[in-house]
Amino acid sequence: MSGRHFLQIPGPTNVPDRILRAIDAPTMDHRGPSFAALTRDILEHLPKIFKTEQPVLIFPASGTGAWEAALVNCLSPNDRVLMCETGQFASLWFHLAEKLGLSPQVIPTDWRRGADAAAIEERLREDTAHQIKAVCVVHNETSTGATSNIRAVREAIDRTGHPALLMVDTISSLASIDYRHDEWGVDVTVAGSQKGLMLPPGLSFNAISQKALATAEHATLPKAYWGWREILNANATGHFPYTPSTNLLYGLKTAVDMLLEEGLDSVFQRHARHAEATRTAVRAWGLEILCLEPAEYSNSLTAVLMPEGHDADQFRKTVLEHFDMSLGNGLGRLSGKVFRIGHLGDFNDLMLAGTLSGVEMGLKIAGIPYKVGGVQAALDYLASGSSPD
């Protein structure tokens, strides 16, 4: 097929040409002085994306590695961990915690909303012996398109006076949806390279707090590759304890530069506008947005329910074959029931218009019942110059 593929899954996202050019450079000696200068530059500016003045650790790994790093650095065998099952990614983090020998406890949801801060508060109040060592929340649940209110979770924990750490997965929200590691008192923020950061997959991150670092000094789950202490010590001289993803770090420096040039507030506003335009189209098609709480609608993706009797994967296949566009599939219990439109990362009005056009034409070709006019409604919204809040 001629022209560019439309990669409209909610991660990996489209990598801008400027980042591709930065990555396309000779690999340098990762123990040499030029490399140390690059590391220092990244470690100085990257924390701004997390809105933190604490260290951010970089792993040569997918986001799953940073999930594991958060748990093994701060916790000990059999520790209780409170997790909110907002969808498939929260559920995967739960299973990872189980495999590591932790005792995760779940607050279930219907997979159509964010984490319930009041339920977290209640569980913590019941835990008078302070056996729960960490509360884990996925900020933006990529399987459902629901964003949790992390500030509300922090306030709920504070009201109980419970000492549990707060760990937040921002893999599909960082650099797309407002996030404040320090202000919201998060102890470990987990992030990945291939979503809002606009990089290829392969890097992931832990932003930490002084409390998390102090806890890590005596936590006893086995850890080697993921150990924070070794990484922090090496970072102090601009290095890493093992070979870092050199070329992805060139890309990371450029990604951070691009985000700070645009300004984080503008980045968030851009995502909010594209998300609202997408929802405008979905409503006009007469289809249902999976997330039930308007205050929790995700600005990085929209999950759309298929009408009864129609298979979302068949629809996605039609769109791929006719228009060379990838849409996100339904994950876990949502398999075949939803498709997901990614509208995050390096994205603009015309890319969104193309994406929504592909969806609307796909609905027609696949014989899905829908109302004509979603694309027009989205274009009208984009052209109106209005934006959410």
Ligand X SMILES: *Cc1c(COP(=O)(O)O)cnc(C)c1O
> Which positions lie near ligand X, rule CB under 6 A?
11, 62-64, 89, 138, 142, 169, 171-172, 192, 201
Distance separating alpha carbons of residues 304 and 289, to the nearest angstrom: 5
- Least CB distance to ligand X at residue 210 (A): 25
- Least CB distance to ligand X at residue 194 (A): 6
- Least CB distance to ligand X at residue 137 (A): 10
Nearer to ligand X, 89 or 250 (CB): 89
Nearer to ligand X, 124 or 331 (CB): 331
Please give the C-alpha separations between residue 256 and each of 44, 60, 125, 141, 231, in angstroms, as whole numbers: 10, 17, 40, 23, 21
Nearer to ligand X, 30 or 340 (CB): 340
Cβ contacts of 321-325, under 8 Å, gap ≥ 24 = 322/358, 322/361, 322/362, 322/365, 323/6, 323/358, 323/361, 323/362, 324/1, 324/3, 324/5, 324/6, 325/5, 325/6, 325/8, 325/355, 325/358
Nearer to ligand X, 51 or 195 (CB): 195
Type of residue found at 334? L
Nearer to ligand X, 142 or 357 (CB): 142
Residues with Cβ < 8 Å from 124, sequence gap 6 or more?
82, 132, 135, 156, 157, 160, 162, 164
Distance separating alpha carbons of residues 146 and 134, to the nearest angstrom: 22
Nearer to ligand X, 92 or 221 (CB): 92
Nearer to ligand X, 116 or 141 (CB): 141
- Least CB distance to ligand X at residue 19 (A): 17
Count helices and strands (H / E) in the chain: 13, 14
- Least CB distance to ligand X at residue 102 (A): 17
Tell me how many degrees the CA angle 13-17-22 measures, rounded to the nearest 5: 105
Closest residue to ligand X: CB criterion: 63
- Least CB distance to ligand X at residue 307 (A): 26
Please give the C-alpha separations between residue 56 and each of 39, 59, 69, 191, in angstroms, as whole numbers: 12, 10, 12, 10
- Least CB distance to ligand X at residue 16 (A): 19
